[in-house]
Structure 1
């Protein structure tokens, strides 16, 4: 029997604080839900109605005009279709919004835009014909919580732009929970300038920018976090999945505040969705970088307990980042390579950058640009021969299975350690909870599930 062992409170505080910022807000908002007003929106509603369950509104714009901090707006199931933006295109390269959320809640009193329990509201932008760059949702407000919404189909209607976006976020301290964003001509969820946001238990997939002026497929990531100024709280991605996006799964290029990615999966990125036709860059997790330029303002990002497999390029990629990111307890399988730690120094030369502990790299190409990194207690450091027998399953199918009732990732046997695996207890303490005498290697601590 394995006994639980936990790190000291001081160490645990140091690694968890940044990722808990938005979680605290989420807990407070849930407890306050009954205190605020409750409104309803439905596809067959009427914006002249009362906004009650019996007489719902028709649009999120009408709901935002009334909702205030602490209120909850429930969206009934069905399709909310958009054909034009809420402003005109001033040029073919201008940016317009279908939905603008610019009213803020407050700490502990978020404004909640939630799917009605057990129902699926779908925001469909595929019929929009605005001849410029389009944002499906433009979230400029702060302390907002979106939950259970499906967002799909934002187009590009000319070839003069790099991409459009499913959800664009420039506000702070927002929560995006159980969002399914897909089939956009650009990134599914794109944080640009906002800090302290939590993207929780959300999926972004099948995004492909076939009209990009760079080249088809070059700019459609699953999730992005970019351009946040220094000093803001970390943006956090927890329990998220990104697959079959034509560019990268997760992209953190050009941001000056930290990003934490944890318990997340990225696979088959870098292809035309649903095919093996190569398209964009194809990293699972692209962790930083400033366009191959050295920038002294760079900060450390963290990826932990995450899985990358069958991506066209690297599973975990430092992308010329100027400082060493932390890569703890991740699993790379069948990537090219699984861990590419190409960084950059102040002279502009390529160097290895990264702190790697307790990771697994198996099949495909394993490693690149490791000179200069700090790496120990990884599968390639330990001299333990890897084989399929070390895992309960090495299947690459079924990772898009339905989530659990609370929105958390499905529990699969894939790439979890077998009960007798030589990789159990072979890690080192990096300040995160673990069971047994030492952490296991890889993304999944062997808990018997």
Structure 2
């Protein structure tokens, strides 16, 4: 299958970009400890005598160590420091101890079990981070993060996981029902967000309007922090956007990811009062031109049934790369609204091998570098081009290795005229040419 070759190439890219942090499946040899909801921090940290808290585990671990969390709920009622003001930021959990290259500190779900970090009872009256990851070379795997609250309406949002360190891996995280973004990269470089889900996040008390700031995933990083990658991730039913790269001054890559039904109240078709509702918001700097903007890449990804755009340039200042993506039923599917140095709205984007089908197809395309896409090849689109156009099942169970489920949805049918109609953009393919869309036949 062609897609297996593409995934192999992407994995190779990740190893180059992320160095040792990309070896997510093979933690270096070190000590192994255990934590359980009914444990005790005065215990030995063994399977028979587990600790009770991640804070105590961090006080002990060294680079290369692994901490397993047994299934159950780890509840929090307060942050680890007090609010200095109602607009202050506080952490329930701070992970500041760093691993090292090739010796990550790993905090992981015990195999086959479900540890849930529940922050819904945190009462601190300011902005709250469930996890604040300030350290480097840390690996979080298989943890569920839920319920981070907003306790006043003076702030924009709280966060499930906030990241400012570098060379970290976040794998199989399930962040949901937080009053702000599920996972947010504030700063740092070479972080990998792998096979994670972020959904049903809604910020009812945000100061700039209910729903305005609860994205699935965000990366708003400063300059000189390249290499942040979102891979194999899903974002759905978030009140704002699925993926949001606004104010990112270093390049970000989003690949092999899906996003749908953003901009609505969770589990409904009721628009969030102030939520935007884009699938992939790939940049922008608040609607103004900046001279040091960063170029982002979105590839091999799917956006459908979002309240507004599937793929959105958001007044970006540089032409991003949008390669091999599928947009279905968005409004519009691709909106390449950019801005030039004179502050004028222009179309910006390099688009190859993309599919736009149903909904409103395109907006702000004048000025873009677009070719070999479904809309400029003279190809007539219909449901018969695909094995299925179902919008159900996308949130189904992942495969055993954590990768996205294999669905017939929006995959090309055997007789599709979109097969071998693309252009070579540097990714491996079989046949005469790449296929169009996120899934090679």
Asked whether the equivalents of residues 5 and 434 of structure 1 are also in contact (C-alpha less than 8 Å), the reply is no
Structure 2 SS opposite 1:308? strand
Q: Which residue number corresponds to residue 362 of structure 1?
A: 357
Identify if the C-alpha distance between structure 1 residues 218 and 32 changes in structure 2 by more than 3 Å, giving closer, same or farther.
closer
Distance 1:23 1:414 in 2: 34
Distance 2:383 2:260 in 1: 19
Structural RMSD (CA): 1.8
Deviation at 1:21, TM superposition (A): 2.5
Structure 2 SS opposite 1:289? coil
Q: Is residue 2:344 matched to residue 1:349? A: yes
Asked whether the equivalents of residues 397 and 405 of structure 2 are also in contact (C-alpha less than 8 Å), the reply is yes
Asked whether the equivalents of residues 5 and 436 of structure 1 are also in contact (C-alpha less than 8 Å), the reply is no
Asked whether the equivalents of residues 422 and 434 of structure 2 are also in contact (C-alpha less than 8 Å), the reply is yes
Asked whether the equivalents of residues 5 and 433 of structure 1 are also in contact (C-alpha less than 8 Å), the reply is no
Asked whether the equivalents of residues 14 and 22 of structure 2 are also in contact (C-alpha less than 8 Å), the reply is no
Structure 2 SS opposite 1:380? helix
Q: Could you state the TM-score of these two structures normalised by the residue count of structure 1?
A: 0.95
Structure 1 SS opposite 2:423? coil
Q: Is residue 2:335 matched to residue 1:336? A: no
Q: Which residue number corresponds to residue 22 of structure 1?
A: 18
Counterparts of residues 264-303 of structure 1 (less than 5 Å): 264-279=257-272, 280-303=275-298
Unmatched 5+ stretches in structure 2? none
Distance 1:387 1:396 in 2: 16
Q: Which residue number corresponds to residue 369 of structure 2?
A: 374
Structure 2 SS opposite 1:190? strand
Identify if the C-alpha distance between structure 1 residues 4 and 61 changes in structure 2 by more than 3 Å, giving closer, same or farther.
closer
Identify if the C-alpha distance between structure 1 residues 3 and 138 changes in structure 2 by more than 3 Å, giving closer, same or farther.
closer
Q: Once the two structures are superposed, what CA deviation does each residue of 1:193-228 show, in whole Å capped at 9, x if it has no partner?
A: 1111000000000000001111000000000000x2
Structure 2 SS opposite 1:48? coil
Counterparts of residues 225-304 of structure 1 (less than 5 Å): 225-226=219-220, 228-279=221-272, 280-304=275-299
Asked whether the equivalents of residues 379 and 441 of structure 1 are also in contact (C-alpha less than 8 Å), the reply is yes
Structure 2 SS opposite 1:273? coil
Distance 2:4 2:35 in 1: 48
Unmatched 5+ stretches in structure 1? none
Q: Which residue number corresponds to residue 216 of structure 2?
A: 222
Q: Which residue number corresponds to residue 379 of structure 2?
A: 384
Q: Which residue number corresponds to residue 170 of structure 1?
A: 164
Deviation at 1:433, TM superposition (A): 1.2
Q: Which residue number corresponds to residue 153 of structure 2?
A: 159
Q: Could you state the TM-score of these two structures normalised by the residue count of structure 2?
A: 0.96
Asked whether the equivalents of residues 220 and 248 of structure 1 are also in contact (C-alpha less than 8 Å), the reply is yes
Aligned mate of 1:402, from 383, 389, 397: 397
Structure 2 SS opposite 1:86? coil
Q: Is residue 2:169 matched to residue 1:202? A: no
Identify if the C-alpha distance between structure 1 residues 3 and 205 changes in structure 2 by more than 3 Å, giving closer, same or farther.
closer
Q: Once the two structures are superposed, what CA deviation does each residue of 1:138-183 show, in whole Å capped at 9, x if it has no partner?
A: 0000000000000000000111111000000000010000000000
Identify if the C-alpha distance between structure 1 residues 434 and 364 changes in structure 2 by more than 3 Å, giving closer, same or farther.
same
Asked whether the equivalents of residues 5 and 437 of structure 1 are also in contact (C-alpha less than 8 Å), the reply is no
Distance 1:401 1:23 in 2: 31
Q: Once the two structures are superposed, what CA deviation does each residue of 1:243-295 show, in whole Å capped at 9, x if it has no partner?
A: 00000000001111110000000000001111111120000000000000101
Structure 1 SS opposite 2:67? strand
Deviation at 1:434, TM superposition (A): 1.2
Asked whether the equivalents of residues 238 and 262 of structure 2 are also in contact (C-alpha less than 8 Å), the reply is yes
Question: What is the aligned residue count?
Answer: 438
Structure 2 SS opposite 1:64? helix
Q: Which residue number corresponds to residue 207 of structure 2?
A: 213
Q: Is residue 2:94 matched to residue 1:100? A: yes
Asked whether the equivalents of residues 157 and 203 of structure 2 are also in contact (C-alpha less than 8 Å), the reply is yes
Distance 1:435 1:167 in 2: 39
Asked whether the equivalents of residues 350 and 369 of structure 2 are also in contact (C-alpha less than 8 Å), the reply is yes
Deviation at 1:26, TM superposition (A): 3.2
Structure 1 SS opposite 2:375? coil
Structure 2 SS opposite 1:435? coil
